[in-house]
Amino acid sequence: MSQDPQRPIRLTLYVAGQTPKSLAAIRNLERICEEHFPGRYAVEVVDLRTAPHLAREHNIVAIPTLVRELPTPMRKLIGDLSDTEKVLVSLSVNEA
């Protein structure tokens, strides 16, 4: 089943404070979304230092972790998201 290229994408990025890896992941995710999904994505950044209970509730075992919540099924990717192709392939987001 191919994905609708106009389908909204909902992502959650779990970080731990303002570490270099966390900041790099935020910057890389913003760049990837603007380049590949302009106008059809929503990103929530969750700082596990301020909400540590969410790590257990959402089964986050490493940080930074990116979670694609929509479209389903959910997918996770760990790392600073510096490899654009790896991010796109890992999240299985097909472009038009």
User: What DSSP assignment string belongs to 41-54?
Assistant: EEEEEEETTT-THH
Q: Could you tell me if residue 95 is inside a domain?
A: no
Q: What CATH number is attached to the domain comprising 29?
A: 3.40.30.10
pLDDT 10s digits, 43-85: 999 999 999 999 999 999 999 999 999 888 899 999 999 999 9
Q: Could you tell me if residue 84 is inside a domain?
A: yes
pLDDT 10s digits, 1-43: 334 557 789 999 999 999 999 999 999 999 999 999 899 999 9
Determine the distance from the C-alpha atom of residue 28 to the mean position of all C-alpha atoms in its chain, rounded to a whole number.
10
Q: For the chain, what is the domain count?
A: 1
Other CB atoms within a 10 A radius of the CB of residue 10 amount to: 15
Question: What is d(CA 32, CA 77) in angstroms, rounded to the nearest whole number?
Answer: 14
Q: Could you tell me if residue 96 is inside a domain?
A: no
Write the CB contacts of 24 (distance below 8 Å, at least 6 apart in sequence).
80, 81, 82
Global confidence as pTM: 0.86
Residue span of the structural domain in which 68 resides = 9-89
Q: Could you tell me if residue 76 is inside a domain?
A: yes
Q: Could you tell me if residue 94 is inside a domain?
A: no
DSSP structural state of residue 3: P
Q: Could you tell me if residue 62 is inside a domain?
A: yes
Q: Could you tell me if residue 35 is inside a domain?
A: yes
